[in-house]
Amino acid sequence: MTSGHSGAVRPSCLTRPPSIDGSFGGNQMWTSTPLMQNCGCGIIAGLDAVLRYEGISTLTMDEYLKRFDDAARYLKPIVLPGSPENPKSFGVSTLGFKSGIKKLAASRGIPVKAKGFIFDYETKVKKYLEMGVPVVSLIAAPLNNVSIVNCNGAGSNIGFHWVTCTGIDDRYLEVSSWGGLHRIELSDLDRASAGVRFYAVLPL
């Protein structure tokens, strides 16, 4: 991991996100609609996991966006009534992710299931990544008090956001988000005001 702490887990070929024109995973900001730019992170997380089971490690932007549009048929955000120019959405729910990724993978001939966990996540994330199992996480912080920092040290706070987990140590969770490598302090995730759920995308 970038933090350099002991016990770090580096991504394997399965847990490393695909590279899209040199990126570190997908980015919903590449899409053309305000709705998907706002709530496409759950689709990205699911799609990147399935692409890795397909053995696809690199794509062009056009290829990835076509796959994103297909994935959005299965991983569907909860959309609230409102203006098409300013859509409101809760994003992909946990139940929607579990059923959607199963259907998306099945459409590619790959049987998987998403196994959720909350407690003892440090041990479990490390175990699954060492096994080469893709792991994603939904971070729900209504107070927007979970900080996510990129490789250049620039940070922002997140509220409701899906990420792909790529490494963990005693201080940081390393993730793919917005097409880049980021890290989140575990102490932020452990706050009572933050709800965090992890999913291991397991082969059947």
Q: What percent of the chain has pLDDT over 90?
A: 70
**Domain at 19-203: CATH architecture:** Alpha-Beta Complex (3.90)
**Chain centroid, CA 196 distance in Å:** 12
Higher-confidence residue: 101 or 85? 101
The pLDDT of residue 181: 95
Mean pLDDT of the chain: 89
The pLDDT of residue 12: 53
Predicted confidence band at 154 (pLDDT cuts at 50, 70, 90)?
confident
* pLDDT over threshold 60, residue 3: no
pTM over 0.75: yes
The pLDDT of residue 6: 37
* pLDDT over threshold 60, residue 128: yes
Domain ranges of the chain: 19-203
Q: Are 52 and 18 in contact (CB under 8 A)?
A: yes
* pLDDT over threshold 80, residue 114: yes
The pLDDT of residue 178: 95
Q: How does pLDDT run across 4-62, given as a tens digit for each residue?
A: 333 455 545 567 899 999 999 999 999 998 889 888 999 999 999 999 999 999 999 99
Residues 113 and 101: their CA atoms lie apart, in Å, by: 8
Count of CB atoms within 10 A of residue 191's CB? 13
Q: Are 88 and 82 in contact (CB under 8 A)?
A: yes
DSSP string over 94-109: HHHHHHHHHHHHHHTT
Residues 202 and 134: their CA atoms lie apart, in Å, by: 8
Please compute the mean of the pLDDT values over residues 108-130 and round it to a whole number: 96
* Residue at 17: amino acid letter: P
3-state DSSP call for residue 129?
helix
User: Of 13, 26, 42, 8, which Cα lies nearest the Cα of 133?
Assistant: 13
Assign residue 4 a region: left if phi > 0, alpha if psi is -120 to 50, beta otherwise? left
Predicted confidence band at 1 (pLDDT cuts at 50, 70, 90)?
very low
